[in-house]
Amino acid sequence: MGKEIILSPSLLSVDFAHIADGIKELDRAEVPALHLDVMDGAFVPNISFGAPVIKCLRKETNMIFDVHLMVEEPVRYIDDFKKAGADWVTVHAECCKHLHRTITAIKEAGMKAGVALNPATPVSVIDYVLDEVDMVLVMSVNPGFGGQSFIPSSLRKIVEVRKLIDERNLDVRIEVDGGVNLKNVGEVIKSGADVIVAGSAVFNGDIYENSTKFMEKFRERGSDGAER
Ligand SMILES: O=C(CO)[C@H](O)[C@H](O)COP(=O)(O)O
Ligand SMILES: [Fe+2]
């Protein structure tokens, strides 16, 4: 049997005046992970939040903290995110002078390591680190903002990454981030993804209801044998 498909809602679309309430709703819907977008205003045009905020949120929930670092040279902050309670840390291949060293540092700190690819970055960039990572994050929008539309060529990239992982018989997850909603999530999973990020599709409206719908969709796929 394949792996359980994980929903990881992006906190970027939460009402920041009521973050803890949003997290409570996700817990109520039994959502397994929380996607935390850290933006530095340099790699991406936007600034979001950093390790101190994540440390405060850690007291609110036991969900997997799935930290997406959109930060130049993230190797400088690995220990900060470990101390803040991160479980998974994903860095952009485009941001690291020494990608292999950065991945090693994340794992040595006791966290799962992910590598992210912008929409224009080819899969070949991660060829020599694929055996080292726990997850590949395929960006299906240009990073920096929530609420953008899914870029269709991302599906082809997911298929390509899945092929590499399966050919090498690796235990590596594929996370897809950007513009995923209830309409396109089926295709995203079919292409090979098993960690689904959804920001606006979860938080714009009733968080509990939207998360529950996503979770139901995953369970349906599990029971019809389509689980990865
Ligand atoms: O990394 C991100 C943006 O850089 C976010 O995780 C992503 O955009 C999620 O939001 P949405 O589902 O609304 O597209
Ligand atoms: Fe993200």
Question: How do residues 50-84 score in pLDDT, each as one tens digit?
Answer: 999 999 999 999 999 999 999 999 999 999 999 99
Distance of CA 125 to the CA centre of its chain: 19
- Distance from C-alpha of 12 to C-alpha of 114, rounded to nearest angstrom: 19
Question: Do the Cβ atoms of 92 and 69 come closer than 8 Å?
Answer: yes
In this prediction the pTM is 0.96
The response to whether 68 counts as a known ligand-binding position is yes
In angstroms and rounded to an integer, the radius of gyration of the C-alpha atoms of the chain is: 16
The pLDDT score that the predictor gives to residue 222 is 63
The response to whether 144 counts as a known ligand-binding position is yes
180 Cα nearest atom in ligand 1:
12
- What is the predicted ipTM? 0.98
Residue 126 forms part of a structural domain? yes
Q: What distance separates the 2 farthest-apart alpha carbons in the chain? A: 46
The pLDDT score that the predictor gives to residue 221 is 78
Among the listed residues 190, 165, 77, the one whose alpha carbon sits nearest the alpha carbon of residue 176: 190
The response to whether 87 counts as a known ligand-binding position is no
> Does the beta carbon of 147 lie inside 6 Å of ligand 1?
yes
199 Cα nearest atom in ligand 1:
12
The response to whether 223 counts as a known ligand-binding position is no
Residue 228 forms part of a structural domain? no
- Name the residue range of residue 218's domain: 4-223
Strand partners, 176: 138, 196
> Domain of 74: which CATH number?
3.20.20.70
Q: Which residues of 193-219 are buried (b: 16+ CB within 10 A; e: fewer)?
A: bbbbbbbbbbbeeebbebbbebbebbe
**Contact partners, residue 32, CB within 8 Å, separation at least 6:** 6, 7, 8, 63, 64
Mutate to test the pocket of ligand 1, among 36, 66, 184, 197 (most ligand atoms within 8 A of CB): 197
> Does the beta carbon of 198 lie inside 6 Å of ligand 1?
yes
Residue 195 forms part of a structural domain? yes
Residue 21 forms part of a structural domain? yes
Centre of ligand 2 to C-alpha 169, Å, is 26
Centre of ligand 1 to C-alpha 49, Å, is 14
Centre of ligand 1 to C-alpha 198, Å, is 7
The pLDDT score that the predictor gives to residue 3 is 84
Residue 160 forms part of a structural domain? yes
Residue 85 forms part of a structural domain? yes
Among the listed residues 176, 170, 124, the one whose alpha carbon sits nearest the alpha carbon of residue 150: 176
Residue 192 forms part of a structural domain? yes
Residue 137 forms part of a structural domain? yes
The pLDDT score that the predictor gives to residue 228 is 55
The pLDDT score that the predictor gives to residue 159 is 98
Nearest CA to ligand 1 atom 7: 178
Positions of the chain with pLDDT under 50: 1, 225-226
Based on the structure, what is the number of domains in the chain?
1
- Distance from C-alpha of 6 to C-alpha of 173, rounded to nearest angstrom: 10
- The tokens describing 19, both together, are 């973050």
